[in-house]
Each structure stands twice: as structure tokens, then as C-alpha cells.
């Protein structure tokens, strides 16, 4: 098992919410946001729902030249 600090059950700080908003706006998936914030994917989805944040990830087609530089 990986050794990393997880904030399970900890209250969400203003910085955590700001980071969630930024990452969601960039199209980052809930699982990746969870790793970056040290929370579960379910916790990310739940908090995003409470805050009215959309977690629709951007589709990145590896064969589309317009998405290669993202």
C-alpha cells in the first residue's frame, strides 16, 4: 500500500475549495483531484455537488491535433 497523507473526514478549507474549483474548471477528473487533495473520489464528487461545481472532464482525443498541446 502507498504511504500518503489523506485528509479523510477533515473539514474542507477555503484553499481546498479554491483548488477544487480550479482543477474542475481545467477539466481534471475527480480521481486525479482526489489524489491531489488527498481525498477520495467520492468525497470530491460529493463536495463538488454541494458547491455546485461541475466535474465534467474534458475529453482529450490523442488523435486530435487541437488537444495535443493541452
Give the pLDDT confidence score for residue 68 in this predicted structure.
56
Rounded distance, CA 44 to CA 66, Å? 29
Taking only the tens of pLDDT, the chain with its 70 residues reads 455 566 667 899 999 999 999 999 988 999 999 999 999 999 999 999 999 999 976 656 666 666 555 5
* Entry field: residues in the chain: 70
Amino acid at each position: 500500500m502507498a504511504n500518503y497523507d489523506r485528509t479523510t473526514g477533515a473539514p474542507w478549507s477555503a484553499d481546498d475549495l479554491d483548488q477544487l474549483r480550479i482543477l474542475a474548471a481545467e477539466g481534471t477528473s475527480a480521481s486525479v483531484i482526489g489524489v491531489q487533495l488527498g481525498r477520495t473520489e467520492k468525497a470530491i464528487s460529493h463536495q463538488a455537488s454541494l458547491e455546485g461545481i461541475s466535474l465534467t472532464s474534458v475529453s482529450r482525443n490523442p488523435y486530435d491535433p487541437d488537444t495535443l498541446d493541452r
